[in-house]
Structure 1
Amino acid sequence: MKTLLNPPFRADVVGSYLRPDFLIQARTQFVDGKITQKELTDIENRAITELVAKQKAAGLHVITDGEFRRSWWHLDFMWGLQGVEKASLKEGYKFQGVESRPETARLTGKISGENHPFIEHFRFLLPFAESDIVPRITIPAPAQFFKELYRPENKAATESIYPSQTDLLQDIANAYQTFIQQIYAIGCRNVQLDDCTWGMMVDSRYNNAGVANSASKCDCNCASNATVISQSIQDLAEIFVQLNNAAIVNAPPDLVLTTHVCRGNYRSTWAASGGYQPVASYLFARENVHAYYLEFDTERAGDFSPLAKVSGDKQVVLGLISSKVGELEDKQAVIKRIKEASQYLPIERLCLSTQCGFASTEEGNALTEEQQWAKIALVTDIAKEVWGTV
């Protein structure tokens, strides 16, 4: 079977890793004013250098910085955009039995994407690239940013700066285009757009938090699919797919753009349940990415039948190995599920990964670093057996 020379790889990862204790301590010391930004950066550099060595030793063809310079998988990127500030809330994101830190991204002015701090963060990773090892950056999808701006506590600020939602969507797309062009210019060839919006939308308990109501007033041509999801959610799904596509429309042809979809990952808990079928005709059929990293580790993600909607020659990375728990999955059971998925998409277009990162926030999931690397070893072992390569 042909070896993949570009992402996604047969054995792949979503991106974030458990922070080492010395990095966690340093970030606390920085917040408390006990060390300088330069001292923190030096410690982050050390942690990332050690992480890259471990990723290479694990046999992976993709490396990330583990999101070690971030507190959140998504908010840090949003805070780095022009016209956005870090803000506090009364309540955080709700997960099963736990609540996150009450932080958000709120608008202070018009949005733009120049001079983003993630450019320099990624520059540090570039020297670790090799002929068969690709550095990847993970950032929240444009739809995720849009949704954050319509949290109940943010809606008034958003609409005061952008009375026209059309203008807001255009500026978000432009900001992402700017970022993509700038990070490509320094050598990035793999950008992953992390996007929980679809995973939340399929849950019958999904709370639009004012987004769908605003979306229903949009002047775009929205799809009709009332037998699958409500009209307001249809309108929102239409906005999401159009926005995500608009943000990457001018991307260089040799830049591999992928997206990761899950249902929440905070300290080993989750936020939503539901299969992909209600959004498949939007997400799988129309989003112009090269591949999808999809949560499939539990029944909360539904069956594989929606994969039949994946258009063109796009690939799917099956997230069959849980990053939430330390217990290893049964190898043969995972292989059986890969074969089940191949009923809907040729096995040549399938890959394997964990269902999400190991530390979507700096708190990390409830497993040890040894268990983390055992999970990755299982991914590579299965990939070798199924495809003959990683």
Structure 2
Amino acid sequence: MSSGLHADPPFHVAHVGSLLRPRELLEKRSQFENQQCTAAELKAAEDAAIAKIVKFQQDLGLRVVTDGELRRRFYFEGMFETLEGMTFVPNRSLDECREYLPYIQVIRAMGMTDTPSVFTTSKIKRSRGVYTEDFKFLKSLVKPEEVETLKVTIVSPIWLHLRHGSQHTYDLSVYKNDDEYFNDLIQAYCEEINELYALGCRQIQIDDPGFCFFCAQSMMDGMARAGDDHGALLMQYIAVYNAITKGRPDDLMIGVHMCRGNRMGMHYCEGGYNAVAEKMFVDLDVDCFYLEYDTDRAGDFQPLRYLPLGKVAVLGLVTTKNGTLENASDIRARVEEAVEIIAGGYPTRSREDALRQVCLSPQCGFASTVEGNPLTEEDQTKKLQLVCEVARAVWG
């Protein structure tokens, strides 16, 4: 693991990544999809919207700034569609998905029989940048000294494999086993992260609801019925992450965001972090964890006792799933509760040291999908203002 400044993070307030798409941008995207405008015109609209959203974040006082994922329809877009060897399939049968995954169960219950996905049809290779051009534009919008505050969000490397399993993730004539598949995918992720770093990116967030699915009893029961070893699968995925993050520069902060689903305000599963806490916090070689903690379905703070020295817990205490505004005093009290548990954890540490290992954010993005969550831009502003207000009260 890198051993730099991460026990004392350069921020104590953040947001997870995605922001509500402005009405004008939604209209332009609709025009593009209906062949009423060109790709260049859509990109110009995206550029203008991103410039406004960057200024919006900076004016609020946020220390971590993203492009709001305004160019994406879904948070997980980008990587798999861009890499050579991976083929987009608009209507893959749900029979080729792991049935016990919480979101697969939900979409089946909605009457769906297929879902858009990606299938690996030849050797995986990164022949061009995935998020690099987006970062270059984002970088152009800020002062040179502010580039380190910019964050890029990337889909999890385990996303497709968790969805489809070894039988349906890749053509078995291309890759004989998971090791071969992940070796090439790991190489592609490393190349992307290295180029982002060379461009000046110092904060990368990997979005991964999969880890929270391992907290859901429904999935554990389903895995047992299917004869799948959930402990072994979890450790396999942790090893994939660790191969990607191994040897990263000390000034590159890589975090993983975990939530229980966030499509238009809907969640997919429940269950606290106890089931994965020790393996996740100790064995997963990342610098910070963006944790959903806005409702009881995420459990209590006790799993935070496993947070090692040198890693950061970003507490997602403000919900993005609805417009109801939380109480600042309640949020501050929950931060103090989490700090107390971390201070008394393994190993013990002072309250001051524990406080430096904690940050505050909304629990997830405001628009994991292009439709956004059921709240207004005014609601979004108030919630981000609340996060900043509490952070100033707690950390100064």
Global fold match (TM > 0.5): yes
CA distance in structure 2 between the partners assigned to 1:8 and 1:265 by the alignment: 27
Which structure 2 residue ranges, 5 or more long, are not aligned?
A: 95-102, 343-353
1:340 aligned to 2:337? yes
2:369 corresponds, among 357, 361, 382, to: 361
Are 2:223 and 2:229, in contact at CA under 8 Å, matched by a contact in 1? no
2:233 corresponds, among 232, 236, 243, to: 236
2:384 corresponds to which letter in structure 1?
Answer: I
User: Counterpart of 2:159?
Assistant: 144
C-alpha displacement of 1:95: 4.7
Deviates more, 1:139-148 or 1:300-309: 139-148
Count of matched residue positions in the alignment of Structure 1 and Structure 2: 368
1:271 aligned to 2:268? yes
User: Counterpart of 2:203?
Assistant: 190
- Residues 139 and 98 from structure 1, CA distance in 2 versus in 1: closer, same or farther, beyond 3 angstroms? farther
C-alpha displacement of 1:116: 2.6
Deviates more, 1:102-111 or 1:48-57: 102-111
C-alpha displacement of 1:88: 1.9
1:36 corresponds to which letter in structure 2?
Answer: T
Are 1:52 and 1:64, in contact at CA under 8 Å, matched by a contact in 2? yes
C-alpha displacement of 1:149: 4.6
Which deviations, in whole Å up to 9, do the C-alpha atoms of 1:186-209 show, x marking residues without a partner? 221111111111111110111799
2:277 corresponds, among 274, 277, 280, to: 280
CA distance in structure 2 between the partners assigned to 1:142 and 1:8 by the alignment: 26
1:190 corresponds to which letter in structure 2?
Answer: Q
Please state whether the residue corresponding to 1:63 is helix, strand or coil.
Answer: coil
- The within-5 A match list for 1:285-324 is 285-324=282-321
Q: TM-score, normalised by structure 2?
A: 0.86
C-alpha displacement of 1:278: 0.9
- The within-5 A match list for 1:224-263 is 232-263=229-260
Are 1:84 and 1:107, in contact at CA under 8 Å, matched by a contact in 2? yes
Deviates more, 1:196-205 or 1:100-109: 100-109
CA distance in structure 2 between the partners assigned to 1:194 and 1:334 by the alignment: 24
Are 2:214 and 2:230, in contact at CA under 8 Å, matched by a contact in 1? yes
Please state whether the residue corresponding to 2:263 is helix, strand or coil.
Answer: coil
User: Counterpart of 1:220?
Assistant: none
User: Counterpart of 2:67?
Assistant: 65
Please state whether the residue corresponding to 1:264 is helix, strand or coil.
Answer: coil
CA distance in structure 2 between the partners assigned to 1:99 and 1:255 by the alignment: 43
Are 2:9 and 2:312, in contact at CA under 8 Å, matched by a contact in 1? no
User: Counterpart of 1:9?
Assistant: 11
Are 2:7 and 2:309, in contact at CA under 8 Å, matched by a contact in 1? no
- Residues 357 and 143 from structure 1, CA distance in 2 versus in 1: closer, same or farther, beyond 3 angstroms? same
CA distance in structure 2 between the partners assigned to 1:208 and 1:241 by the alignment: 21
CA RMSD of aligned residues (A): 2.7
- Residues 211 and 239 from structure 1, CA distance in 2 versus in 1: closer, same or farther, beyond 3 angstroms? farther
C-alpha displacement of 1:114: 3.4
Which structure 1 residue ranges, 5 or more long, are not aligned?
A: 217-230
C-alpha displacement of 1:371: 0.3
C-alpha displacement of 1:77: 2.6
User: Counterpart of 2:346?
Assistant: none
1:175 aligned to 2:175? no
Are 2:7 and 2:312, in contact at CA under 8 Å, matched by a contact in 1? no
CA distance in structure 2 between the partners assigned to 1:15 and 1:191 by the alignment: 10
Are 1:169 and 1:243, in contact at CA under 8 Å, matched by a contact in 2? yes
2:42 corresponds, among 31, 36, 40, to: 40
C-alpha displacement of 1:87: 1.4
Please state whether the residue corresponding to 2:172 is helix, strand or coil.
Answer: helix
Please state whether the residue corresponding to 2:31 is helix, strand or coil.
Answer: helix
Which deviations, in whole Å up to 9, do the C-alpha atoms of 1:18-56 show, x marking residues without a partner? 001111122222222222211111111011011111111
